Amino acid sequence: MKTDTRIIHSGRHPEENHGVVNPPVYHASTILFPTVEKLEHRDPTKRKSIHYGLYGTPTTFGLEDALAELEGGYDTKLFPSGLAAITVPMMAYLKAGDHLLMVDSVYGPTRRFCDNWLTRFGVETTYYDPMIGAGIRDLFKGNTKLVFLESPGSITFEVQDVPAICAEAKARGITTMIDNTWATPLYFKPFEHGVDVSLHAGTKYINGHSDVMLGTATATEEAFPALSKAATEFGQTIAPDDSYLALRGLRTISLRLNRHEKTALKLAHWLEDRVEVERVLHPALPSCPGHEFWKRDFLGSSGLFGLLLKPASKKALAAMLDNMELFKMGYSWGGFESLILPHDPADIRTATKWQAEGPLLRLHAGLEDPEDLIRDLEKGFERLNQAG
Ligand SMILES: *Cc1c(COP(=O)(O)O)cnc(C)c1O
């Protein structure tokens, strides 16, 4: 079956629910067992049995199964936030005395978890250049247990040579984890490129409507038992209503992404020609570091990209951003609405240096009409120029 068909049919079992199309919302903690025998033995005919709310219900199993199928992994665990889908799996694969290789362009809170918490548990982190490729081998130590990738970086958009990094790690029995949030399970297939664990902030495109916090981690058959054990033993679970909403959002992800992609590309090309713009950081454009890997490995591009402006005063930037009509400022992305945020990546780098002189903007192209979005940006640049 092709992806678009799988998106519609995966994780659904109407025959088990009176013909109801969507898996219903099961609110459950206690599950009752009629006999001692049933209490002690799970149903061997089912891969996932229902025995306590924490471990899942048909609502969460539907979402897990759909995500594992779409991404091509063995199985999926759900987490109450994208960040929890990063930190808990890291705890699954690391222990005191181990060494971790972390990409320097990583999502800020992931970096803070390494610096503030993994250090306390005796795990050492080395940050590496996102463009390192097979050169990662020079950073391996005898105790290196995990390589963490994020491709592209969600603020600076470097696309990594994932197959080269994973091949080097695999040759030494080192586990690899990727934050695949930008591409979604549709536009990058991590398991085909040698990754062991793929995680998403389901908060973004998977749910897609800016109203749910969700994390997902999908693993190969070999890596899954440790992930599953950590998720349950750290008490990770998600609310049934959130699971329902995310699965509902997932059914339209292909349509939404296709539109995000088209609009983002339209904006990116328009921005390339603006005098205020130094460089557009969009993985599908040659001006983005690692564009060649995007071209080789990805099946599409999503709606999030960066914009390096020529040097501008804080006042001019505020004049632009404070009065946008459609591009609103706010954290997160992946919803139906357009967003814009200023960033300074210089603060969150250690292995590499952020060289840009002008400010960096991150744009999320929503589902509005692209002509209206362009007009909003055009007026923003007028304010920037007037105030500058
Ligand atoms: C938002 C985000 C996360 C964290 O997701 P939350 O659901 O907000 O915790 C992780 N990685 C990337 C790349 C993100 O953009």
CA of 82 to the centre of ligand 1 (A): 5
Closest Cα to residue 72, out of 12, 13, 6? 6
Residue count (the chain):
388
The candidate with the shortest Cα–Cα distance to 199, out of 306, 309, 113, 71, is 71
Give 42's pLDDT tier (boundaries 50, 70, 90).
confident
Distance (angstroms) between ligand 1 centre and the Cα of 181 equals 7
Task: Report the distance separating Cα 165 and Cα 297, nearest Å.
Answer: 13
Pairing of strands 144-150, 99-103: parallel
Task: Please write the tens of the pLDDT for every residue from 209-232.
Answer: 999 999 999 999 999 999 999 999
147-159, pLDDT tens digit by residue? 999 999 999 999 9
Residue 355 is predicted with a pLDDT of 86
48 pLDDT tier (thresholds 50, 70, 90): confident
Asked if the model's pLDDT at residue 41 lies above 90, the reply is: no
Q: How many Å apart are CA 238 and CA 207, to the nearest integer?
A: 13
Please confirm whether the linkage preceding 89 is cis (ω < 30° from 0): no
Query: What pLDDT score does 49 carry?
Result: 85
| Helical (H) or strand (E) element with 318 | helix 314-322
Write down the pLDDT at residue 142.
98
17, two tokens? 């629910």
Nearest to 197 by CA among 232, 160, 167, 224: 224
Closest atom of ligand 1 relative to the 153 alpha carbon: 13
Distance CA 202, CA 216 (A): 6
User: Is the C-beta atom of 203 inside 6 A of ligand 1?
Assistant: yes
Domain boundaries in the chain?
Answer: 3-250, 253-387
CATH superfamily of 253-387: Aspartate Aminotransferase, domain 1 (3.90.1150.10)
DSSP lists the bridge partners of residue 215 as: 79, 201
Through-space distance between the first and last CA atoms of the chain, rounded to whole angstroms = 55
Q: Tell me if 213 CB under 6 Å of ligand 1.
A: yes
Q: pLDDT for 316-356, tens place per residue?
A: 999 999 999 999 999 999 999 999 999 999 888 999 999 88
- For 7, 50, 191, 360, the CA distances from 3, given in Å and listed in that order, are 6, 29, 15, 35
Three-class secondary structure of residue 132 per DSSP: coil
pLDDT reading at 44 higher than 70 = no
User: Does 179 sit in the ligand 1 pocket, CB within 6 Å?
Assistant: yes
Nearest CA to ligand 1 atom 4: 82
Whether residue 384 is predicted with pLDDT greater than 70 in this model: the reply is yes
| CATH, range 3-250 | 3.40.640.10
CA diameter of the chain: 77
Residue owning the nearest CA to atom 2 of ligand 1 = 201
Q: Where are the alpha helices (DSSP H) in 180-274?
A: 184-187, 224-233, 240-250, 253-272
Other C-beta atoms within 10 Å of 33: how many? 12
Which residue is closest in CA terms to ligand 1's atom 15?
A: 154
Helix, strand or coil for residue 300?
A: coil
The predicted model scores a pTM of: 0.97
Q: For a pocket test of ligand 1, which of 87, 105, 181 has the largest count of ligand atoms closer than 8 A to its C-beta?
A: 181
Three-class HEC string of 53-97: HHHCCHHHHHHHHHHHHHHCCCEEEEECCCCHHHHHHHHHHCCCC
Integer angstrom CA distances of residue 254 from 127, 205, 243, 246: 34, 10, 19, 14
3-class secondary structure, 50: coil
